Amino acid sequence: MVVTRFAPSPTGDLHLGGAWTALASHALGGRRILRIEDIDEPRVVSGSQERIVSDLRWLGLHWDLGPEDPTTVQSARKPLYRDALDRLRAQGLVYPCDCSRAEIARIASAPHAGEDLVYPGTCRNLPHDRAFRRAPALRLAVPPGTVERFHDEGGGGGVVSQHVGRDVGDFVLQRGDGLFSYQLAVAVDDATMGVTHVVRGRDLLASTPRQLLLMRLLGLRAPSTYIHLPLVVDAAGERLAKRTRGARVRALRDAGISPEEVVGVLAFGLGLTADTTPMTPDALATRCADLAGPLPWARAPFRIPERWAALDANDEQEMP
């Protein structure tokens, strides 16, 4: 059985990038989970979760398990992350690191522009009981030679391979302030929730090998299918920033745009329909179920229609 999840962060209103991913996930049918990724608690905006849920429902999206059940909210799942961390520690795969980002930057370099720095392993072999200069983060000691591979079924996808130690380095599992990392939380959540199909933006493609590695080390069953979608861009073709006008679903809703129109435009952008005819998410799911073979996911980014961009005068919202 197909099990999907849409996992927004409650850091602002639902944007078209989130609606795009949620609709793509809905189109696969099966059992649908709405998971709230509020693990980075300092960034959580009061009332954001409720507004996101309201906008998803306005679009016609629905789920079988959602935030009314606390098991779908990351802040309520910390015991699971703590247990996973303890299990990795018992394998000798966790060590403390008190390096600052500035220190790492001085001796490391990002593999590609815009990507995170590769951690050089400065603290890997230092005593765990030493005096720390600052509250230490906890890092995974990536086993030497680890290569993770998976098949991305998104448009233009294929086999993705990452040499985790070389391309990423020993990555953070728990920050110095005690917050669990995105990589650990998502790996544990997808596996323990029984997710079979992960649908998300192409900007998260490089995170997948780390999550697969964590699941393997923890003896967890990984999702069978990953679909990384092209990104949503603004009317000028630039990737959506935190303050891009025309990006909020709420602005379209307030302007009187019908949810069926929004769904029709997004479905066409995803490559799942031949035109922008208004439709409901359930109608799209039915259409996709009738298609033979893999779904024809779009290869190109989705550009926000200019008429939508002109509707949103609020440029102070942070994207989930």
pLDDT bracket for residue 95 (50, 70, 90): very high
**pLDDT of 80 strictly over 80:** yes
Report whether pLDDT(281) > 50.
yes
pLDDT of residue 243: 53
Kindly indicate the confidence band of residue 142, based on its pLDDT and cuts at 50, 70 and 90: very high
Which amino acid would we find at residue 129?
Answer: D
Same domain, yes or no: 66 and 81? no
Least Cα distance to 289 among 59, 61, 19, 30 occurs for: 30
pLDDT at residue 307, as a whole number:
86
Which of 129-133's residues contact partners 24+ apart within 8 Å by CB, and which partners? 132/96, 132/98, 133/98
Angle, in degrees to the nearest 10, between helices 16-27 and 259-269? 80
Tell me whether residue 219 is in a domain. yes
CA distance 314 to 292: 42
Nearest Cα to 196, choosing from 216, 214, 221?
221
pLDDT value, residue 14: 94
The CA angle 304-309-310, to the nearest 5 degrees, is 150
Q: What is the CATH number of the domain that holds 295?
A: 3.40.50.620
Task: 155-162: list long-range contacts, CB under 8 Å, 24+ apart.
Answer: 155/229, 155/230, 155/271, 155/296, 155/297, 155/298, 155/299, 155/300, 156/230, 156/299, 157/227, 157/228, 157/297, 160/205, 160/208, 160/209, 161/209, 162/206, 162/209
pLDDT mean over 139-145: 97
Structure token digits, residue 33: 């989970």
pLDDT, residue 52, reads: 97
DSSP single-letter state for residue 36: B
Distances (CA, A) of 12 to 9, 46, 47, 51, 242: 8, 9, 9, 8, 9
> How does residue 217 score in pLDDT terms, banded at 50, 70 and 90?
very high
110 shares its domain with 176:
yes
At 246 the pLDDT is 59
Q: Are residues 88 and 169 in the same domain?
A: yes
* pLDDT, tens digit, 9 for 90 and up, residues 22-78: 999 999 999 999 999 999 999 999 999 999 999 999 999 999 999 999 999 999 999
Which of 184, 203, 229 is the endpoint of a domain?
A: 229
Which ranges in the chain belong to alpha helices (H)? Answer: 16-27, 48-58, 78-90, 101-107, 164-167, 182-192, 208-218, 249-254, 259-269, 281-290, 306-309
pTM: 0.93
Q: How confident is the model at residue 244 (pLDDT cuts 50, 70, 90)?
A: low
Do 301 and 194 reside in the same domain of the chain?
no
| β partners of residue 303 | 233
Last residue of a domain, one of 206, 229, 252: 229
Residue type, 165: G
Length of the chain: 320
Domain boundary among 229, 245, 280: 229
Exactly one of 242, 243, 299, 307 is catalytic; which is it?
242
Band of pLDDT at residue 111, cut at 50, 70 and 90: very low
Domain annotation covers residue 280: yes
If one counts the domains in the chain, the total is 2
Q: Give the model's pLDDT for residue 236.
A: 77
- Out of 25-39, 242-256, 258-272, 287-301, least confident range: 242-256
Strand 94-97 to 172-174 pairing? unpaired
Asked if residue 129 belongs to a domain, the reply is: yes
pLDDT at position 170 over 60: yes
Examine residue 320 and state whether it is found in any structural domain, yes or no: no
On whether both 127 and 164 belong to a single domain, the answer is yes
**Is 319 contained in some domain?**
no
Interatomic CA distance for residues 43 and 106, integer angstroms? 28
* Proportion of the chain above pLDDT 70, given as a percent: 92
Coil vs helix vs strand at 256: coil
Residue 113's pLDDT is what?
42
Say yes or no: 40 and 81 in one domain: no
Residue 318 lies in a domain: no
Does 127 lie in the same domain as 225?
A: yes
Tally of CB atoms within 10 A around 200: 21
Q: Look at residue 283 and tell me whether its pLDDT is greater than 50.
A: yes
Q: What is the mean pLDDT of residues 175-196?
A: 97
78 catalytic? Reply is no
pLDDT in tens, 200-216: 999 999 999 999 999 99
Same domain, yes or no: 222 and 235: no
Helix axes 281-290, 259-269, angle to 10 degrees: 30
Nearest to 189 by CA among 277, 79, 77, 83: 77
Q: Do 167 and 257 fall into the same domain?
A: no
Is pLDDT above 70 for 141?
yes
Distance CA 103, CA 119 (A): 10
Please state the rounded mean pLDDT for residues 165-178. 96
Please indicate, yes or no, whether residues 209 and 265 belong to a single structural domain of this protein: no
Average per-residue pLDDT for the chain: 91
Instruction: Provide mean pLDDT across the span 72-99.
Output: 97
Tens of pLDDT, residues 266-278:
999 999 999 999 9
107, pLDDT greater than 50: yes
Note the pLDDT of residue 198.
Answer: 98
Give residue 190's pLDDT: 98
- Report residue 132 as tokens: 């720390």
Domain containing 183 equals 77-229
